[in-house]
Amino acid sequence: MSLTNVLVRAALEGSAFSGEQVSARLPLELGLYSDQTEVLLSSLHPSAEIKVYGPTAALSTVEATSTSPDISIQESEVYHGFPSFIKYFISVAQASAAVSASVSISSSSCGQSLLIPVTVTHVADPSAAKLAAVAPLGSLEGGSSLHSFINCYQTMFFTLFALLAGSAIIIIVLHSWFSPREPPYHPAFIQRTPPVMSLNSPETNSFNNSISRDAAGVVGEAEGRIEELEQQVSDLCTENVCLKEQYQRHLATCRLQQGNSLSALGAIKEHITHEK
């Protein structure tokens, strides 16, 4: 086995500091390492694989042995790349009883050895063991199936709710876009319907009474005005008759005066002719 020192030096990246730098030397041991610290075998799983890592020079002189004749170890693969390793196949011949042994992997070049304990358990009835192993799995699957069933229903309800909400939103948007809109009117052109009053209400009775009184007053005034107009018409007729009589007398007077004037004018003309 050899030790190699690794120098670790601390420095600040991008710094131009030229003072003393802090460093340390760490020992690095190049040896054998395994990916497992213990191997468990049984009648259900009678074999296993382990990997041993190490330098190529150390792996070239590795020897693997077992402390029990029932446990065999065979080399299955060697890899010399990085990282280099050897893969071993460990199996048990007969798992009729519980066995505790160990596998020793040593290298003569580096003087290091790995001791990996191997435990073999015996199962009297493999089918019972399978049933025992499947029972908790079945219960787990039942619980998982129930959980998946609940999750499935939750997903279905959520999807249904999302579809209904989306449909409602689409219907509202389409109705707001395509529904006929009434043009806005100015308040001055809006016709307001007067409130409808009942015929037997006190307000209606008082309103009707006031209308009756007003109508009676208007009718009385109209009748008085008609009588005045009739009186004026009769007076005008009487006055017209008087004026016609005066006009006739005036015409007669004018005719008489015209006849007298003509007779006087003729007498004057005759007198003038006699004198000549």
* CA 103/CA 93 separation, integer angstroms: 15
| pLDDT value of position 2 | 46
Element (H, E) at 2: strand 2-9
> Are 106 and 88 spatial neighbours (Cβ–Cβ below 8 Å)?
no
Q: Give the tokens for residue 82.
A: 């990085």
Rounded mean pLDDT of 171-176?
Answer: 88
Q: Which is nearest to 230 in space by CA: 238, 218, 242? A: 238
Confidence of residue 136 (pLDDT cuts 50, 70, 90): very low
Is a pLDDT exceeding 70 seen at residue 13? no
pLDDT at position 140 is 46
pLDDT band at 32 (very low <50, low <70, confident <90, very high): confident
Q: Specify which residues 33 forms β-bridges with.
A: 53
| CA 192, chain centre distance (Å) | 42
The pLDDT of residue 161 is above 60: yes
Per DSSP, the residues of 191-247 read: PPPPPP--TTSHHHHHHHHHHHHHHHHHHHHHHHHHHHHHHHHHHHHHHHHHHHHHH
Q: What is the C-alpha separation between 90 and 104, in angstroms, rounded?
A: 12
Determine the pLDDT at residue 255.
81
The vertex-227 CA angle with 221 and 233, nearest 5°, equals: 135
The percentage of residues in the chain with a pLDDT greater than 90, rounded to a whole number, is 7
Q: pTM value?
A: 0.38
The pLDDT of residue 169: 93
Each residue of 47-104: pLDDT tens digit?
Answer: 899 998 888 888 888 888 888 888 888 888 888 888 889 999 998 887 667 778 888 8
**CA–CA gap between residue 276 and residue 261 (Å, rounded):** 23
